[in-house]
Amino acid sequence: GGGGGGGRPRADYTVFADVPYGEKIKGTVKSIQQIGAFVEVEVAGQVASGLVHVSQMSDEFVDDPWSVVSEGQEVEVTIRKVDVGAGKISLSMKSDSGGGGAPRADFTVFQNVPAGEKIKGTVKSVQSFGAFVEVEVDGQVAQGLVHVSELSDDYVDDAASVVSEGQEVEVTIKNVDVDAGKLSLSMKSGSEESFDDE
């Protein structure tokens, strides 16, 4: 065989890519950082560590990964994404990725909202890059991102200066990605086209 470097050979990440979406696999928490937890998983005899991002640790909003898991703990994870070339795995501990848990919202209902129509929402979390707002249309509930540039007609430097968690806001839907289950929202007063009104 070829003279590989020292240490154990890198896992064959294609086996992780073959795991059915949403299938739970057992793992062990190896280390915890502010961005999330690194969990070691084994599939078909291949062992690798993947990151459970802090946003994927629970169905609830998680601020502190240490409050959810501890090193050495056994957890159940699903595989979100595998980058075979880079040898990276993204994991999730949420209940709703595929099997079990609440079904994902039907994002087509958000596509059907007329452009510029205001809908009510509740701010779920505020990050430096914007605010995540939960909206409901026709009984379908989903969270969308109001990018910091869409929070106000004025320039916003810090999202937290405009909104706070739990606040009720009015938003318009900018963009819906049904496949990815992503909503882009805006809190600006006028849509881009409105400046050329009579």
Q: What is the pLDDT along the chain (198 residues), one digit of tens a residue?
A: 555 455 566 789 999 998 887 889 999 999 999 999 999 999 999 999 999 999 999 888 888 999 999 999 999 999 999 998 889 999 999 875 443 334 567 888 999 999 899 999 999 999 889 999 999 998 888 999 999 999 999 999 889 999 999 999 999 999 998 877 889 999 998 645 444 444
Confidence (pLDDT) at 189: 87
Q: In Å, what is the CA distance from 160 to each residue of 18, 127, 147, 164, 167? A: 41, 7, 12, 6, 11
As to burial, measured by CB atoms within 10 angstroms (0-12 exposed, 13-18 middle, 19+ buried), residue 62 is buried
Pairing state between β 119-127 and 140-147: unpaired
Confidence (pLDDT) at 104: 67
Confidence (pLDDT) at 196: 43
Q: How far apart are CA 134 and CA 152, in angstroms?
A: 18
pTM > 0.85: no
Confidence (pLDDT) at 27: 96
Confidence (pLDDT) at 8: 60
Confidence (pLDDT) at 89: 95
In contact, 142 and 110? CB cutoff 8 Å: yes
What tokens were used for 7?
């240490």
